Amino acid sequence: MVSLVKGIASSQGGMEKSQRSLYAPMYADINECDPSNKDKYPCYGVCKNIVGDYECSCHTGYQPSGGGPKKQECNPKFPVAAQLALGVSLGFSFLVVVVLFTLMMLQRRKMNEYFKKNGGSILQNVDNIVIFSKDEMKKILKNNSEVIGQGGFGKVYKGRLKDNTLVAVTTSIEVTEAQKEDFTNEVIIQSRMMHNNIIKLLGCCLEMDVPMLVYEFAANGSLKDILHSDASHLVPLTLDLRLDIAIESAEGLRYMHSSISHTIRHGDVKPANILLTDKFVAKISDFGTSKLLTVDKEFTMVVAGSMGYIDPVFYMTGHLTQKSDVFSFGVVLLELISRRQTIYGKNRSLIIEFQEAYDQANSGRLLFDKDIAIEEDVLILEEIGRLAMECLNEKIDERPDMKEVVARLMMLRRSRKLKQENYNISRQQFFEENSIDELPKSFDDNSSSSSAELLSNLATKNSLTYRSTTGRD
C-alpha cells in the first residue's frame, strides 16, 4: 500500500514536471542551480540551468562515478598516485637532461683542450690537410670495427670517407706541451710530401688525448704480408716485380732524405712499413722514430725500431741518420731476394748468413729464393746481394746513400730489360735472316749437338749485330 502511494506521488510529481515543461510560458522557471536549491536539486560538479530542468557535469579533470554527478561526487581522471609518479618521472628526466648537458659541455671543453694541446690552432691553418672532428672520425671508423695492422704507436684501422674513399687511420704519439711544436712540424712536413712512393697523409683528428692520423689506403697490405704469409697464401713474386718494389721503396726514402725542404729520417724501415697498392706500387709508411725527433736534431733518448732492422750504431748511441735508414733498407733487399725473414729456422740470422756466404764463397746463391734463382738471373741477384751487404756495412761512412742505391738498382733493372730485349730480337732476326734450309736435315741423336751449336752461333751473331747497330751493351 505504501509503495502504491509512493508510486502515485511520483507519478503526480512527474506529471507536474511535465506539465510545467509543457506550459512553461505559463509558469516561472525555477533555477535549480541556485545555491538555495542545492538540497532539492543536488549537483556535485558544474551545474547548468535549462528551462524546466538543469544539467550537471563533472569538473575538468574529473569523471562521473556510480549514479553520476547529480547523486555523488566525481572521481579525478588522474589519481594522486599517478600524479606523483608523473612528477617524479619528469623530475628525474629533467635531472638526466641536466647531467647529460653538463657531461656534453665537459666533453666539449675537454675536446677543445685536446685540440689546443695537439697543435690544432696551428694545423687548422694548413691548406693541404683536413682536420676531422671526433664525431666525423667515429663515422669514418665505424667505432674502430676493422683493424688491419699494427703501426709504430698503435693499431691501424680501415676507414671510409664520405665520398667512399678508403683510408687507413692510425694513432700517433701522445703530445705533451714540450712536443707540440715537433708534432705539428712533423704533420705539416708529412702533409707536404708529394711523392708516388710515400703514403700520403690526408688529415688528422686532434680532439682526442692521442691524435689520430688519416692516410691513403694501400689495398695489398704490406710487403711483409706478401713475402712471409702462409704457404697456402703466398703470392708469386717475379724478379721484375721484386726489383720494382725495391726501386720504388728506395725512391721514397731518397725523396725523404734529399728532395724536401726538411730532411726526414724514417727510423723504422722494414717490410711491414712498405705498403703495396692494388697495382703493387710500393709506398713508404709509418714514420716511426722520426716522430720522436725534432727537425734539427739527430739524437733521441728513446731508441725505437724493430730488432733485425735497426742500425747497430743507432741502437748503441741513439744517433739516427740517413745512413741508419740505408742499413735497414739493406735488410729489406736481403728479404726480397731470399724470401726469408730476418730471423728464420732455429734462430738463424739472415744478415749473418749472407755475410758468411759472401765472405767464404763471394756468392749468396745458396740463400736466393728458388722461385727466382734461375741461371740467367743469378748475376743480377748477386749484384743485389752485394749492394745489400754494402748497405749493412758497420762503418756508416762506407754505406751508400739512397741516391746511389736507387741508381744501382735502376741500372740492374735496365740491364735485365736490355738482356730480355736482346734475346727476343736475336730470335726474331734468326728466323728472318736464316732460312730453314740452313738447318741440319736430320735431328737424330748424332746431330742434336751440332744443331744446338748452330742455333747458339746464329743467335750470338744476331745479338752482336743488334748491339753494334744500337750501341747498347
Q: Which residues are catalytic?
A: 268
Do residues 53 and 39 lie in contact, with contact meaning Cβ atoms separated by under 8 Å? no
Residue 439, C-alpha cell as written in the block: 738447318
Question: Which burial class, exposed, middle or buried, applies to 330 when counting CB atoms under 10 A from its CB (0-12, 13-18, 19+)?
Answer: buried
Q: Using alpha carbons, select from 67, 159, 62, 176 the residue that is nearest to residue 119.
A: 176
- In whole angstroms, give the CA distance from residue 440 to residue 265: 64
- In whole angstroms, give the CA distance from residue 465 to residue 285: 47
- The position carrying cell 544539467 is 55
Q: Which amino acid is at 46?
A: V
Between strands 201-205 and 130-132, the pairing is parallel
- In whole angstroms, give the CA distance from residue 224 to residue 235: 11
Q: SS3 of 405, please?
A: helix
| Torsions phi, psi for 283 (to 5 deg) | -135, 130
- In whole angstroms, give the CA distance from residue 410 to residue 357: 25
Q: Name the β-bridge partners of 215.
A: 168, 201
Question: Which burial class, exposed, middle or buried, applies to 136 when counting CB atoms under 10 A from its CB (0-12, 13-18, 19+)?
Answer: middle
Contacts of residue 383, defined as CB under 8 A and 6 or more positions apart, other chains included, come to 408, 412
Q: Using alpha carbons, select from 223, 263, 242, 250 the residue that is nearest to residue 408.
A: 250
| Torsions phi, psi for 132 (to 5 deg) | -90, 140
Query: In 34-79, which ranges are continuous DSSP H helix?
Result: none
Per the document, the length of the chain is 473
Do residues 304 and 152 lie in contact, with contact meaning Cβ atoms separated by under 8 Å? yes
Number of H helices, E strands in the chain: 13, 14
First to last CA, the chain: 146
Q: Using alpha carbons, select from 311, 321, 230, 306 the residue that is nearest to residue 270.
A: 306
Contacts of residue 51, defined as CB under 8 A and 6 or more positions apart, other chains included, come to 21, 24, 29
Do residues 306 and 270 lie in contact, with contact meaning Cβ atoms separated by under 8 Å? yes
- In whole angstroms, give the CA distance from residue 416 to residue 374: 13
